[in-house]
Amino acid sequence: MPLPLYLLAMAVFAMGTSEFMLAGLLPDIASDFDVGAAGVLTSAFAIGMIVGAPLVAALARNWPRRPALLGFVLVFAAAHALGAVTTSFPILFATRVVAALANAGFLAVALTAAAALVSPDRKGRALAVLLSGTTVATIAGVPAGSVLGTALGWRATFWAVAALCLPAALGILKGIPAGRDDDEATGGPALRAELTQLARARLTLVMLLGALVNAATFGSPTFLAPVVTDSAGLGELWISIALVLFGAGSFVGVTVAGRPSDRSPGPVIAVAGPVLLIGWPTLAVLANEPAALFTLVFVQGALSFALGSTLITRVLYEAAGAPTMAGSYATAALNVGATVGPVVAAATLGTEAGALGPLWTSGLLVAVALLIAFPLLTVITAGRSTEVLR
């Protein structure tokens, strides 16, 4: 894999850390600003990611990729720097919206750029490298941010994220080719033509499946803390260990699935899907057994990202007719799931299922995805990657 891919992954790591770190910082932020609704910061970021991906990608579609990527990273860093010094909650809220828009724009362009840096039949492996930034963020970035926030305050964590963006920006400046590549220079399809790709049944199908699987992926880990402390009866320290295990599993899953998602996505879906489906209710049943809990958390992380990244790769292939917007379609599918999953999972906490409700919900979401996918598996995986335009 070319070096620029890893430089893009470094920026994705910083942005992933920012996206997921906020949950552990909200109590301190609420106390600092004397507000009871600090949780709206999470919603602001999520909505900004969903809405921002297609809008910002459409705005930046005619920009050369290096200045677009560099601009998004610098805006993201500036938003965190401003957030770290402001004493106004509305301004902090605005910085989260701006950061989300910059994140969405960066990821949309980066997904397209990553696919353009490799041969047409290696998009899955390129996506695996790029998404490894997110998985490493869950393993190292988020726990480190939580520790830093506890020791030095939430503002220090914001400064740390801003600082992480600087070497990524330098890497983009040095590693991403200047100017336009061949597709951009010769003029791609019009925006309207790229948007009409969304009417293609196969594209909307894989976007729906990607959203469902990612909803399951992000629904349960968001509420893993009460499972660890209540169901398993462990101390709070074990929450971080469980999250790190899920992140480590996700890194393994997205890495191992990289090559098969290009050449044989059907077997990945056919094998990982049912096992993932079985795993969520099994985890709910065995949550009171710490050894089983931690083992299954790792396994579910691996299977979730193996299946999810494969489906997101299919989005890039199916959206090949939208070379500047394909990344935004993949980003939207991923973030719709990441936003809807925790909301649906949260609704189950007040039911008889209690803390185990999110685990059962994740199983149900995967079941819905598989019920849709399996009768149409040959349709979803039809078309060899080498036959698809970059």
Determine the pLDDT at residue 284.
94
Residue 348 neighbours by CB under 8 Å, 6+ apart: 357, 358, 360, 361
Determine the pLDDT at residue 389.
35
Six token digits for residue 223: 């509420």
First to last CA, the chain: 16
Determine the pLDDT at residue 291.
95
Determine the pLDDT at residue 384.
45
Residue 347 neighbours by CB under 8 Å, 6+ apart: none
Determine the pLDDT at residue 187.
55
Determine the pLDDT at residue 188.
61
CA 264 – CA 250 distance, rounded (Å)? 20
Six token digits for residue 369: 């995805």
pTM, 2 dp: 0.77
Determine the pLDDT at residue 330.
80
Determine the pLDDT at residue 180.
58
Torsion angle in degrees (nearest 10) through CA of 252, 257, 258, 261:
-160
Six token digits for residue 115: 């696919």
Determine the pLDDT at residue 386.
41
Cα–Cα distance list, 196 to 60, 203, 324, 327, 336 (Å) = 18, 11, 13, 15, 20
Determine the pLDDT at residue 383.
55
314, 334 Cβ separation under 8 angstroms: no
DSSP state of 194: H
Determine the pLDDT at residue 105.
84
52, 105 Cβ separation under 8 angstroms: yes
Nearest CA among 161, 32, 37 for reference residue 88: 32
- As averages over each run of 10 residues, the pLDDT of the chain (390 residues) reads 78 82 74 72 77 77 83 94 93 91 84 74 74 74 74 90 88 73 56 80 89 89 85 84 85 81 81 94 94 95 90 82 76 81 86 91 95 82 48
- Helix crossing, 65-85 with 3-33: angle to 10°? 20
Nearest CA among 358, 357, 338 for reference residue 131: 338
Six token digits for residue 345: 């999972």
Determine the pLDDT at residue 356.
94
